[in-house]
Amino acid sequence: MFQISLPNIIVAYLVAILAIVFGLWIASDWVRKRRDRRNRRFRLVCNICGWPYQDKSRDPIPPCPQCGALNERTALRDL
């Protein structure tokens, strides 16, 4: 059996905690970005009146609920 000193145990414990926190941070960031990307796919902004709305239908040119203008689906950029 090998021996390990108390400072080494503490360092190993801290490294393990940091690795877990870092892993959870990366995973939560990945999930958040994926959810944002999925939600952004259904968001549109009317070209005529500028009304932002959500349309989850398969219609390639959904009508604006505010003014009725037909809007093409285009990718929205991050601000």
Q: Is residue 44 at the binding interface for Zn ion, with CB under 5 A as the rule? A: no
Residues 50-79 vs Zn ion: string with x where CB under 5 A? -x------------x-xx-x----------
Q: Is residue 39 at the binding interface for Zn ion, with CB under 5 A as the rule? A: no
Q: Which long-range contacts (CB under 8 A, 24 or more apart) does 70-74 make?
A: 71/44, 71/45, 71/46, 71/47, 73/44
Which CB sits closer to Zn ion, 14 or 48?
A: 48
In the list 19, 20, 49, 61, the residue contacting Zn ion (rule: CB under 5 A) is 49
